[in-house]
Amino acid sequence: MSSGLAVIGLNHKTAPVNVRERVTFPANNEGNLTRSILSLPGVLEAIIVSTCNRSEVIAQCDPVDKVVETILDTIAVIHGVDRQILGRHCYTWIGDDAVRHVFRVACSLDSMILGEPQILGQVKDSFRRDSAANTIGPTLSRLMHRAFFTAKRVRNETGIGVAAVSVAYAAVELAKKILGDLKDKSVLLIGAGEMAELTARHLIGQVMSPICVANRTFENACTLADEFGGEALRFERLSGALAKADIVISSTGACDAVIKATDVKNVMKTRKYRPMFLIDIAVPRDIEAQVNDIDGVYLYNIDDLQAVVSENLGERMNEALKAEEIVDDEVKKFMDWTKTLDLSPTIVALREKLETIRNGEISRMNGKLSKLDDGQREILEIITRSIINKIAHDPISFLKKTKSTSRREVNADIVQRVFNLHGFSNPRDELEENLENEADNRN
């Protein structure tokens, strides 16, 4: 197999957490690890993407099949993982499948939570680190920039990231729908359950007032309040805090209801029936169901929130279909670009020769052109450049329209012979840069 792109890695779909946690690439050492991969025979460029749910090596290889096995062996050695165990949990993508995978990861189509925005930032961080480590060349640079562009298209052209698909986030979005802007709203957190704490964390950036934390164990309330920059409250003062709270999140381990309907009725009179939003994430429930019958009170429990999440997840799945079409479109564009790489020496040599001829003729006629002013010289430059671009257009189109690899080689040889291009080839990175600029102009 010839040179090409490969992705070797594992994620939440292919490996349990006890394997994933053994195959991680710490961010503070990622550049050194990527350089280790780059030092392997046949690895031309490399980048590592490592998050809590995935560890991947993206590489430009020659030849692909042999290098993939070498990379897997190296990952096993670096992390002290049995090679057979690693092989069972790893995936390998080659060529356009590798490109599609990278684009899907950047677009959050391969994430545990479909459409979550954090993964794009993590991929960009990896790109920056490995760029600084000088392990990324023109092909991977082009690949990653097109991945970022594809992710932007998906965000702009679909609603994949709009609907809430976590219980905590759904609770906050419901609060916004019911109460409007949350900036001037006060929040009361009762208990210290993990889901309630996560919901409170989502609310921190939405409200101005410090979050009030009540817990039967006052020390625990103090600890959590310190994390939030909030205020701790003794449990016996809960009734007074309820009267001030616009949003109440409850998740205790109590066997009986902590907030009863009679408590809320009295509180609502004190509040003059100003709306109150209650989120009961406890099992068994902390808040009596009859509370929802009181005017101005909106009560949601864990089942209500899960139903919202399920509905929203269905919406995201529909949007994901649109996103997949965008990915397919961008994969095709990228693969079309890669097919031109073997033609780049011929194309740039042709342009270089025509430009050399142009400059030579202008220099030869310099004496006769001495009377031209700056404006006339500029017109001459424009005309002569336009002429050589038009001369180059047909042979370049002739080269690019050929899909067969063997035929492209024959056509490249024809153009080289017809225009006598030997000795007019630039370094590969400069050629590819020129082609990238050309592709960007087209797109």
Give the residue numbers annotated as catalytic, written as ranges: 52
Helix axes of 302-339 and 96-106: crossing angle, nearest 10 degrees: 140
How do beta strands 231-234 and 212-215 pair? parallel
Residue 304's SS3 state is helix
Distance CA 271, CA 240 (A): 11
Q: What is the 3-state secondary structure (H, E, C) of 48-90?
A: EEEECCEEEEEEEECCHHHHHHHHHHHHHHHHCCCHHHHHHHC
**What does the radius of gyration of the chain's CA atoms come to, in whole angstroms?**
31
Q: Is-contact 294 269, C-beta < 8 A? A: no
User: What distances in angstroms separate CA 269 from CA 91, 298, 345, one per listed residue?
Assistant: 61, 15, 81
Pairing status of strand 276-280 against strand 247-251: parallel
Those residues with Cβ within 8 angstroms of residue 403's Cβ, 6 or more apart along the chain or in another chain: 339
- From 178, 179, 198, 180, select the one nearest 189 (Cα to Cα): 198
Length of the chain measured in residues: 443
